[in-house]
Amino acid sequence: MLSLLDRYLLGETAKVFAAIIATLLLVTVSMLFLRTLEQVSLGALGNTSMLRFLGLQVLRDSASLLPPAFFIAALVSLGRLARDSELIAFGACGIGPGRLYRSLLLLALPLALLTGWFSLILQPYASLHIQRIEDAQQERATQVVGLQPGRFYQQQSGAVTFYAAALDDERRLRQLFIQDRRSDPPRLILAERGFYQQGGAAGERIVLEVGRRFDGQAGTARFDVTEFDRYTLLLEQEAPVEERRRRAARLTVDLINSPALPDRALLGHRLAAPVSLFALALIAIPLTNLSPRQRDSGRLFLAFLAYFAFFNLQRMAVNWMQGGVSPPWLGVLWYQPLIIAVVFGALIPGSYWSRRFVERMRRWRRSAR
């Protein structure tokens, strides 16, 4: 049974958490919605699948929103209790940091289960269906279904941009403009007409007829101009289905059974989200001033530093393990105990036990003289 204190602390933290997570979701949905509209306007996404694509993106990114929202909610709620001298009243009644930890962990436990469900199950599910929508849309674009003249289209994440001024009765492209940023220097192609080809070992390509190719960097005087009667531009090489699938769409069960280093790094990244809730709960209470008379500028700066270092090191740990920079036995969760140790180490000089130790050492020196 929850005590009165537990219900009070849980209620205060849960209210702040609900407000913060609602704000983060609103900002995330707004950014993803604008990005989705941009893809629709460029022809990279169909109008019918826009809302489903947006919902899957929100579902994929939800796991990364819960840990920072919990950490900020814990700091805000505990800071409010400290400003109102309620934490001092708790201490006078014999309620120490241990009871505060208990209340935070009671909230962190269900949130960790929810975050684990999002990260381990729903995130790969959403990534897989996002990949299917993108593949289906790309295939429709390759077959020139619904291609409209006078619009810009992009492929390979914007590396190739092309524009067709008109279409004839045979659905052949007229007055083409193509910018290819995959090569160094980038390439610009102008052609009178062209058409798509797909299938076989050559993969996806566009065949251009009667045009010019410009090789060089815009804004410089060095350009190589080549005229052609027929030119084939390779857009994407065919690959097996399993190789084309994004690694983020792989099921967690497959990652557990895989000995590959990138799969182990991705598994650690998914586990980091629910585990980080407990690590953030451990450093939230020491980063809160128990007395309103204490200056909170130093602890506030340390809280911001710990927050940004925590989530930046999370991405760096995954990249280092995938790239072989860090040893495999170290895993990708090493940054969490490191941040905890740094925070507690930085707060030791101003703690009660440190001041008591220093006072005892002074008394011992005086008595020794």
Q: Which of 224-238, 291-305, 318-332 has the lowest mean pLDDT?
A: 291-305
Which of residues 287 and 117 earns the better pLDDT score? 117
* pLDDT number for residue 334: 92
* pLDDT number for residue 139: 52
* pLDDT number for residue 201: 45
* pLDDT number for residue 357: 63
Q: For the residues 169-183, what does the mean pLDDT come to?
A: 79
What residues does 328 pair with on adjacent strands?
none
Do 290 and 352 contact (CB within 8 A), yes or no? Answer: no
For residue 226, report the phi and psi dihedrals to the nearest 5 degrees: -130, 130
**Helices 123-142 and 50-61, axial angle in degrees (round to 10):** 150
Q: What is the pLDDT of residues 205-253, one digit of tens each?
A: 778 888 888 888 766 767 788 888 888 887 665 444 444 456 778 888 8
Separation CA 300–CA 208 (nearest Å):
61
Separation CA 19–CA 15 (nearest Å):
6
Which range has highest mean pLDDT (154-163, 212-221, 266-275, 318-327)? 266-275
Do 83 and 150 contact (CB within 8 A), yes or no? Answer: no
**Angle at Cα 115 formed by Cα 109 and Cα 121, nearest 5°?**
130
Which of residues 16 and 93 earns the better pLDDT score? 16
Q: What is the pLDDT of residues 74-125, one digit of tens each?
A: 988 888 887 877 777 877 777 777 788 888 888 999 999 999 999 999 999 9
* pLDDT number for residue 133: 82
Q: What is the pLDDT of residues 340-369, one digit of tens each?
A: 998 888 877 665 556 666 677 777 777 776
Predicted confidence band of residue 44 (pLDDT cuts 50, 70, 90): low
* pLDDT number for residue 241: 40
For residue 259, report the phi and psi dihedrals to the nearest 5 degrees: -90, -5
Separation CA 55–CA 33 (nearest Å):
10
Q: Is the pLDDT of residue 274 over 90?
A: yes
Q: What is the pLDDT of residues 335-348, one digit of tens each?
A: 999 999 988 888 77
Judged by phi (left if over 0) then psi (alpha if -120 to 50, else beta), residue 113 lies in alpha
Do 179 and 188 contact (CB within 8 A), yes or no? Answer: yes
Name which of 184, 180, 175, 239 is nearest 208 in CA terms: 175
* pLDDT number for residue 118: 94
Tell me the domain boundaries of the chain: 4-138+245-368, 146-197+200-237
* pLDDT number for residue 179: 83
Name which of 166, 168, 186 is nearest 176 in CA terms: 166
DSSP state of 92: H
Amino acid at 158: G
Do 244 and 79 contact (CB within 8 A), yes or no? Answer: no
Amino acid at 293: R
Q: Give the 3-state secondary structure of residue 190.
A: strand
Do 61 and 115 contact (CB within 8 A), yes or no? Answer: no
Q: Is the pLDDT of residue 305 over 50?
A: yes
* pLDDT number for residue 142: 46
Amino acid at 266: L
Q: What is the pLDDT of residues 121-174, one digit of tens each?
A: 999 999 888 888 877 665 554 444 445 677 777 776 677 887 888 877 666 788
For residue 192, report the phi and psi dihedrals to the nearest 5 degrees: -75, -40
Separation CA 23–CA 14 (nearest Å):
14
Sheet holding 160-167, edge to edge: 152-155, 160-167, 173-180, 187-197, 204-215, 224-236
In this structure, what token pair is assigned to residue 93? 């009644």
Do 170 and 202 contact (CB within 8 A), yes or no? Answer: no
Q: Give the predicted TM-score (pTM) of the model.
A: 0.68
